[in-house]
Structure 1
Amino acid sequence: MPRRIECAGLKIDAALHSLLVDEIAPGTGIDPDAFWQGVAAIWGTLGPENQRLLQERDSLQAQVDQWHREQKGKSWDAGAYEAFLRDIGYLHPEPAPFEITTTQVDPEIALIAGPQLVVPVMNARYALNAANARWGSLYDALYGTDAIPEDGGALRGGDYNPARGDRVIAWARDFLDDHFPLAEGRHRNATVYTIDNGILRVGQPSGAYSILADTTQLVGYTGDSDMPSSVLLKHHGLHVEIQIDREHPVGATDTAGVKDICLESALTTIQDCEDSVAAVDAEDKVVVYRNWLGLMKGDLTDTLKKGAASLTRRLNPDRRFTTPDGGALTLPGRSLLFVRNVGHLMTNPAILDTEGNEIPEGFMDGLFTTFCALHDLRSAAE
């Protein structure tokens, strides 16, 4: 039997109790005893209601099952089925139209469309990779997938294939021409990128310079304006960074010194405590909450072996640029993180109430993940 700590009438697994007292609570301004008292109060108030709702769900499901058994051998009647569901209270009348006003909604939710990842938060490496997927190499994505055909000698393989690399670069330049067209000429033929009085100028083989057809698409750069190390463009709220380094193996062979094109990619990530995770006891929940805490504090790491070498993964920092008018621009280096909690049906032996009943994981997850998130919310406020 696991060792338990009694607090506020609850019997808490010692490992989970230690995690909260020693790692989660410090820095939040919330006393651990006050937290446990809150857990007990919430469970005492909402536990019976949760049980009532689960019983109602069981009753509805039993009636639905019985109805289907009674329809065996009969022709399907959608109208009769809908009437039955309304009669038992499974379906309710549609409410009248209404409007709501929301505030403090992140642009990744309210304004910008982009990919969303789902990842098991119990796996630190996966959680880090997903959080860091806010930005990704277009060159790598094209080279390593079937987006680029392998015919004509452009095979993927262990060693770098220049023929495939050329196709990748050509595809990426066409991407720039499609979404960030020049007033004259093409990115495919670019010889140099430079910023002049806040305007992006792109050199062409003729020696002439062209500007963007829409000059407002330039939103930033790094390095010196006359020889930038990157150029930041924006289209439909999403950013594209042209990275320039003539000393880089790829940049050294590129006429404009472009070593890569980095895309703003996975805007949001669901760190999952539920479907992709098997957390069945306190030991598992400690891993889940500790990883989520590391994401919220920004200090989660994971070290893996690659041959004789060790590689430590950590969260990417924000990305900083100079704006065309000389100001400063900071963009998130990580996905906006969601957390998906377990539903209120499954229970977990990590916390027992005064009668020895297991607390539902949904209650635990909601309280623990929110407590962890205070580290991020309060650091952002500061």
Structure 2
Amino acid sequence: MTERVAIGGLQVAKPLHDLVQNTLLPGTGLEAAGWWTALEAIVTDLAPRNRELLAKRDALQAQIDAWHIARRGQPHDHAAYVAFLREIGYLLPEGPDFQVSTDNVDPEIASVAGPQLVVPVNNARYALNAANARWGSLYDALYGTDVLPEDGGAEKGKGYNPARGDKVIAYAAGFLDQAVPLASGKHAEVAEYLRDGATLVAQLADGTKTALADPSAFVGYVETDGALKTFLLRHHGLHVEVQLDRKHPVGAQSRAGVKDVVLESALTTIQDCEDSVAAVDGEDKALVYSNWFGLITGSLTAEFDKGGKSVERALNEDRAYTAPDGSTLTLPGRALLLVRNVGHLMTNPAVLFGAGAAEIPEGILDALVTATISYRDLKGLNRLKNSRRGSMYIVKPKMHGPEEVAFAVELFGRVEDALGLARNSLKIGIMDEERRTTVNLKECIRAARERVIFINTGFLDRTGDEIHTSMEMGPVIRKGDIKNAAWIKAYEDWNVDIGLACGLRGRAQIGKGMWAMPDEMKAMVATKQMHPLAGANTAWVTSPTAATL
């Protein structure tokens, strides 16, 4: 039997109540009684509307089912079907063109393209790994995966294999040639990297000296006793850290003494309260929220066994360099964190409400609690910063059409009022994974035009909803065939086209779905470029290693 605390018309599971009272609110200036009153008011006003939206889903689906059943055995009449969808309000009129006006968006979302991780927030170790995946060793990623073949004696093995190390060093040098080339010669030909004032100089094996083809790509360095130990390069807003140490076993093997090449990798990470998490009661939700609190405040740690030794993991610090002009350059040590709240469908017994002791919508609870936690970041109360632009980023999944997006926007406004935050502090990511959202995507974006920072596509959820919506239409082709079907390709293109037409460039991410084969990194490296080529500026990957690659 769950122990509960009665507060007004709410019955709150004690683990959640104690977390809010004893951990989340102290130090914020937010008053506990007012916080619980705000939650009750939001539930009172919005829970009925939440139920109405879900009932509309069911009513529309029943009409679609009946339409197909009535025509079973007949050839599909596409024009009649589209007219029917318009008639029942499933397919909505498209309004005039517009541009989103979202502001105060961090560059990791607005202007720099890069990978995005998604991780269950209730697993502290995974959550920390993903948050720390902002920077990753290219050497390690190449050495430990199938990107490089194991032929010619270059097996991974249990210990360090110099033959494989040679392949890693050569590959990394080739990457530098592509991203930050020299004015003459190749990075593999460099015998020594030097700093000459504000210029990075590469001395080649033949004794000649050269600089970067674009000298402005050199943006920082670290020196010890006058010797260059690290130099920092930048390409398309992403940073490359080259570490030098001839005494290191790998550095000694490199002609230029390059110990490692560390890449800025997962710019953003979605800490997930939804798909990858099973949080079914107050105790589970308290764990989810506690870990999000630890990530935002910088207090989360995880202890685990590695090779027979106990290891404690915490959030990485920011990275500091000297800029070419002698000033200090500080870069974030962690991915910019988004949080995925639960959608509109689920309820949770963590909080019961009213005379009937009904479970409240879990999405309402998520919005208020996760925003309360991020309040500390928005108000500058933590040592480490997440958003440097004063925004919180909430990804909202499984919304069906513009009305449901508008409902989420209304909810975010109520949360901002409850916490005393400026309007549009809470940004929204719209997951384009339900058919009614896809076919009305422009109007969905319009409903959140002051908050939207993200739209993305996803094969599995979108395909699942297509099958569910069209269940009475007839048999469905197999998964492999769906990937090559005209409609799924149109869906991917439509998402990008609509996003660009609505002005997301420079304000929001247009994302593509997960690479779901973590052991097949060679194939990912060979094919993942299809996502930026398709117009996306972020795409999901399964691991920090995948983010680096």
Asked whether the two chains share a fold, i.e. TM above 0.5, the reply is: yes
Whether the 8 Å contact between 1:319 and 1:330 is mirrored in structure 2 is yes
SS in 2 for 1:119: strand
Q: Structure 1: which 5+ runs fail to align? A: none
Range moving further from structure 2, 362-371 or 173-182: 173-182
Whether the 8 Å contact between 2:352 and 2:360 is mirrored in structure 1 is yes
Residue of structure 1 in register with 2:160 after alignment:
160
1:312 partner letter: E
Whether the 8 Å contact between 2:188 and 2:255 is mirrored in structure 1 is no
Residue of structure 2 in register with 1:43 after alignment:
43
Residue of structure 2 in register with 1:190 after alignment:
190
2:379 partner letter: R
Residue of structure 2 in register with 1:285 after alignment:
285
Whether the 8 Å contact between 2:166 and 2:253 is mirrored in structure 1 is no
Whether the 8 Å contact between 1:195 and 1:225 is mirrored in structure 2 is no
Q: Deviations over 1:10-36 (max 9, x none)?
A: 110111000011111112110121111
Residue of structure 2 in register with 1:371 after alignment:
372
Deviation at 1:223, TM superposition (A): 1.7
Whether the 8 Å contact between 1:195 and 1:226 is mirrored in structure 2 is no
2:253 partner letter: T
State how far apart, in whole Å, the 1-side matches of 2:69 and 2:332 are.
Answer: 54
Q: Deviations over 1:247-291 (max 9, x none)?
A: 222113323221100001111111111111111111111110001
Q: Deviations over 1:218-258 (max 9, x none)?
A: 01111259522110000011100001122222113323221
Asked if 1:227 is matched to 2:227, the reply is yes
Deviation at 1:307, TM superposition (A): 4.4
State how far apart, in whole Å, the 1-side matches of 2:179 and 2:293 are.
Answer: 39
Residue of structure 2 in register with 1:268 after alignment:
268
SS in 2 for 1:290: helix
State how far apart, in whole Å, the 2-side matches of 1:262 and 1:293 are.
Answer: 29
Identity of matched residues, %: 56
Asked if 1:146 is matched to 2:163, the reply is no
Q: Deviations over 1:173-214 (max 9, x none)?
A: 111112211112221011211211100011111222211111
TM-score by length of 1: 0.97
TM-score by length of 2: 0.68
Aligned residues: 382
State how far apart, in whole Å, the 1-side matches of 2:88 and 2:79 are.
Answer: 15
Deviation at 1:100, TM superposition (A): 3.1
Whether the 8 Å contact between 2:318 and 2:332 is mirrored in structure 1 is yes
Q: Which runs of 4+ in 1 moved over 3 A?
A: none
2:168 partner letter: V
State how far apart, in whole Å, the 2-side matches of 1:179 and 1:107 are.
Answer: 20
Asked if 1:217 is matched to 2:251, the reply is no
State how far apart, in whole Å, the 2-side matches of 1:226 and 1:179 are.
Answer: 27
1:88 partner letter: I
State how far apart, in whole Å, the 2-side matches of 1:228 and 1:6 are.
Answer: 63
Deviation at 1:99, TM superposition (A): 2.1
Give the structure with higher Rg (CA): 1
Whether the 8 Å contact between 1:196 and 1:226 is mirrored in structure 2 is no
Residue of structure 2 in register with 1:88 after alignment:
88
Deviation at 1:376, TM superposition (A): 1.9
Whether the 8 Å contact between 1:272 and 1:341 is mirrored in structure 2 is yes
State how far apart, in whole Å, the 2-side matches of 1:101 and 1:47 are.
Answer: 29
Root-mean-square deviation over aligned CA pairs: 1.5
Whether the 8 Å contact between 2:304 and 2:312 is mirrored in structure 1 is yes
Residue of structure 1 in register with 2:312 after alignment:
312
